[in-house]
Structure 1
């Protein structure tokens, strides 16, 4: 697989040290080189059983699953999410082959928690919110009430779904959109304010390549995907006239928002899932749980690593092949999001259109591309993966320099069907060669 060198960027060598990764980021290490002893050989996420402690597998970041950059509740037929207490049967002892990474009754693992003497066991919980199965994995003792902690995290995600969904008529996002062009200032929740102000800042720094006002154009292209027919130029121009982050007015003193132009429609599909993973991890931490991983349809948020290990193992999916892995990374205390069109695209008159829309033109991306972004927060990783998908690798890497503590990897289909690889200078070294 050829790899192109980008201007003023050096490829991170496989033997790069942890101290080097920390130095180029200018922060405490967010990702690490692999620890001795190797990692599990499992590939991709297996169906999770609530409350199970089966052998830990490698979370896989797909290159654009069903909901990558779609509205928060992209599955139009799915009912609205509701707070749910996941069923759990309690931890089961790990098999001897799983030791020492999976705690067992015979060899309890130690890790972050209320007391260094308390044994931590692996717990997995899965529930559906924001149109995707969301999996929460963490290590905790029974004294930390893992079922209650997981339920609280899912309830927080459900609350955010009710705020940011553009499918639910009673969502806060829908109410804001319905008031567009009325001249009315709308008071918003702290969550909406946090995400919307962050989105506007990211839009400015990415030159408009990420923009939550892209909703009118997204709706047109959703219909085009169903009908296999391009929207008319007239309808595209009309929709595009209501797109632009500069049309959002923010009253910072009173925490109010006004959308200036009629027809504006907010679409948080490229940022809300990342924010939800941040919030879910925060809830777990409030319950004293530090070793945790949240997987929201491929948007991953990682806390402290599992007990006895230096990092989580995360697999980045291949650009063109389902269930294939491009490379594996050792990560901790960070977020990773991947954007691509492996699953979501439409072919019209011989042209393959991605579901990812350039907010500046109203046109979908037509280059086969998969973008993975590492960032300190899920919200930032989510948004930047969308932006770089639009900008392409060269411009995208330059924009990335405006966001401290971030790194990116881009796979792109070049001439003759060859997959080209681009990466920022601080992308962490892979654990091993790509698995075939």
Structure 2
């Protein structure tokens, strides 16, 4: 693989796709080529959105959800495999991650309108349609069936990471030697900057969002950060974060921020969401089950915990 030279130009475009901000960075011979490749990236992410979005009525996911409790729906192999991986992840985390979370009743509000905690009955009812065990996959017919009426699947926890992975692979197949796909913090990078230095990623200090507590080099891999420090509500003196445990309907607690490094942004995305729900101890156990994955957890007290395979001494503070 030829090394990049200083003749390369780096171009970045910010777009809104999949309801989120995407920062698309490409290193190419000239500005025109870079912008053309970014157009290719936008088209690929748009294609994925129109396959997996539960908000667009014409997507296959919307068709699956409309037929919950009625009949199986034949889907593209790409969506079938994405769903299969999500169910495997749901099983691995004992439901801390659940692809059918999309069916939750929104009894917790994080827009400032909430003045008291919802009743225990309301919280219990809010998760009644969640349950990955009620998703039936038929690999021969290539169908997805949701057994319960009102069930929904959604890819809010892995979809942007998947889009970052697929877009990176597509650009690499077209000869792009370096770039970054940043899907609102779900990042996948490859290659180096034109001067040969690595791309870098900063981890926000959850106790002070204006500061970064560590900067990592990012070399041909993905990084995803999930946090509870930006979106929460305080009721009766207690802080409730916006990430909900699909098994109980109650907000997760204990983890303020989790950053996961992996080969795949889809995997890192699923792990980070799960670890917020599982907590520090079980979160570290989950990271240890994936040899190629590393992570840093900041708990609600600001203490830092990390997987054994991460070299914090290489980090710039």
Q: Please, what TM-score do these two structures have when normalized by structure 1?
A: 0.68
Query: For 1:250-289, what aligned pairs fall within 5 Å after superposition?
Result: 250-289=137-176
Match of 1:197 in 2: 84
Which deviations, in whole Å up to 9, do the C-alpha atoms of 1:46-69 show, x marking residues without a partner?
Answer: xxxxxxxxxxxxxxxxxxxxxxxx
After superposition, the CA RMSD in angstroms is: 2.2
SS in 1 for 2:152: coil
Distance 2:17 2:171 in 1: 17
Q: Does 1:111 align with 2:3?
A: yes
Q: Does 1:138 align with 2:26?
A: yes
Match of 2:283 in 1: 396
When you count strand as a share of all residues, which structure comes out higher?
2
Q: Please, what TM-score do these two structures have when normalized by structure 2?
A: 0.92
Query: For 1:152-301, what aligned pairs fall within 5 Å after superposition?
Result: 152-182=40-70, 184-217=71-104, 219-222=106-109, 226-301=113-188
Q: Kindly name which structure, 1 or 2, has the bigger radius of gyration based on alpha carbons.
A: 1
Distance 2:121 2:60 in 1: 30
The answer to whether the Cα contact below 8 Å between 1:121 and 1:139 also exists between their aligned partners in 2 is yes
Choose from 421, 427, 433 the match for 2:304: 421
Choose from 321, 339, 352 the match for 2:208: 321
Distance 2:148 2:46 in 1: 30
SS in 1 for 2:27: strand
Distance 2:12 2:316 in 1: 29
Match of 2:220 in 1: 333
Distance 2:211 2:31 in 1: 39
C-alpha change, 1:333 and 1:144, in structure 2 (3 Å) is farther
The answer to whether the Cα contact below 8 Å between 2:106 and 2:126 also exists between their aligned partners in 1 is no
Q: Per-residue deviation at 1:111?
A: 3.1
Choose from 341, 360, 363 the match for 2:250: 363
SS in 2 for 1:203: helix
The answer to whether the Cα contact below 8 Å between 2:9 and 2:31 also exists between their aligned partners in 1 is no
Q: Per-residue deviation at 1:136?
A: 1.0
The answer to whether the Cα contact below 8 Å between 2:188 and 2:265 also exists between their aligned partners in 1 is yes
Distance 1:351 1:171 in 2: 40
SS in 1 for 2:3: coil
C-alpha change, 1:128 and 1:413, in structure 2 (3 Å) is same
Match of 1:58 in 2: none
Q: Per-residue deviation at 1:146?
A: 2.0
Q: Per-residue deviation at 1:376?
A: 0.9
Q: Per-residue deviation at 1:429?
A: 3.0
Choose from 4, 7, 14 the match for 1:126: 14
The answer to whether the Cα contact below 8 Å between 1:373 and 1:384 also exists between their aligned partners in 2 is yes
Considering Cα pairs closer than 8 Å and 6+ residues apart, tell me whether 1 or 2 has the greater RCO.
1
For this pair of structures, how many residues does the alignment match? 316
Q: Per-residue deviation at 1:357?
A: 1.0
Distance 1:238 1:167 in 2: 23
